[in-house]
Chains A and B, each alone.
Chain A
């Protein structure tokens, strides 16, 4: 399974995911209750070499999760969804229950943060975005 597929499955396993009817890649429908996962590249955080010549690389994958939700007069439900998702990701990562992206799962870190309203559509929808970052290790 690719890193993108792994992240997509991880998002789908969120208990509140049933709010969404679909989760596209690099696309977010304007239809209410649709989501889009946007990969935004990988950054090499560090590269270390031991005295035997083994190389350990720490990378960071970046994603953005966009959700189009129905806009209510009181947007508390939508905002709560964003907060709960971020806390759920933190809990899964802290407990070691998040999926592995690299060669050393216990050294991995997944954070979902900065969830916020991105914009409001004229069709009665609100677009939210959450940043998701994954730090993982590769051994060569």
Chain B
């Protein structure tokens, strides 16, 4: 795949809302991509490259890296009955305590700012681990269930499209 360009205006920064992680709340063959992060105000992907630096006897420094382990935390994450993604995670974690299912979730990361605006770059991970780390909140406040996502499984790159009227997202592998 050739290098991509950003479809945003040159000289302007890129809005955070142009990178969205979706959870498949449908089936593997008929995915329904539901966005993660409603009411989450700050969340970033963290890339662990397992990097090491060594120095030879001549004083030269060499570095080694591996493919990154990518994680992303959503904290706090407020429960909302209209948020299909968090409802699915709550069922798997709280109702079923299904660790195996939580460790094999189908997620789609769409970079709406990269590629063309009608077919932005997207990457699908078919076995991501979603780890709820708590459930509760302060009195008089909101119920929260923070989660950590570790991107895993087969990584398939491609493009996404978003229906302008329904908001439904479709992934097409490259």
Contact = CB atoms under 8 A, between A and B. Distances in A.
Interface of A: 48-54, 56
Nearest to A51: B37
A interface secondary structure, majority = loop
A54 B16 CA distance: 11
B interface secondary structure, majority = loop
A138 to B, nearest CB: 14
B43 to A, nearest CB: 5
Q: How large is the interface on B (under 10, 10 to 19, 20 to 34, 35 or more residues)?
A: 10 to 19
Contact of A53 (B17, B42, B43): B17
Interface in B72-105: none
A52 B41 contact: no
A53 B16 CA distance: 8
Contacts of A49: 16-17, 41
B152 interface: no
B32 interface: no
A51 B41 contact: yes
Nearest to A56: B39
B69 interface: no
Nearest to B141: A107
A54 B20 CA distance: 12
B39 A50 contact: yes
Contacts of A50: 37-41
A50 B38 CA distance: 6
Contacts of B35: 52
